[in-house]
Amino acid sequence: MVTSVTSLGRNGLYDWLIQRVTALILGVYFIFTMGWLMTHSGVDYLTWKAFMGSLCMQIANTLVFFSVSAHAWVGLWTVTTDYITTLQFGSKATFARLTAQLVIALLTLVYLLWGLVMIWGGA
């Protein structure tokens, strides 16, 4: 079995499971949010702020941000591992792949931290 230090789950089965669980979390969140919007007509800013500011939604939003981050990382790690190959980049494929993965990891971390600040910052 081949493992990579840049893989989130350390092997394909765990990465597959992470993708499925995070997709399920995102799907349930989307359906719940759409259901809430459909049952509350004429939502204004204060109503939306109160809804999103509740502790349950702050926890749900935190879970969603972690889910999006993990889901995106596994997907983009797979794409970079599969498509940044020796055929396109010759002997520099490993450097190009690790550079792309480093940029993706940093952007994902910034997204996650920015989201957590928005959720829990209290602004």
Task: Write out the chain's pLDDT in tens, 123 residues.
Answer: 445 555 555 678 999 999 999 999 999 999 999 999 999 988 999 999 999 999 999 999 999 999 999 999 999 999 998 888 776 667 788 888 999 999 999 999 999 999 999 999 855
Half-sphere exposure of 20 (CA within 13 A, CB side): 6
CATH number at residue 59: 1.20.1300.10
Tokens encoding 52: 């999103």
Residue 115 within a domain? yes
The answer to whether the CB of 64 falls within 8 A of the CB of 95 is no
Q: Determine the angle formed by the axes of helices 55-83 and 12-39, rounding to 10 degrees.
A: 140
Give the total number of structural domains in the chain.
1
Residue type, 79: V
| C-alpha R_g of the chain | 18
Domain assignment present for 2: no
Provide the domain limits for residue 24: 12-120
Residue 5, domain member (yes or no):
no
Q: Is residue 4 part of a domain?
A: no
In a domain, 76, yes or no: yes
Provide the whole-model pTM: 0.83
For the chain, the distance separating the N- and C-terminal CA atoms, rounded to the nearest angstrom, is 48
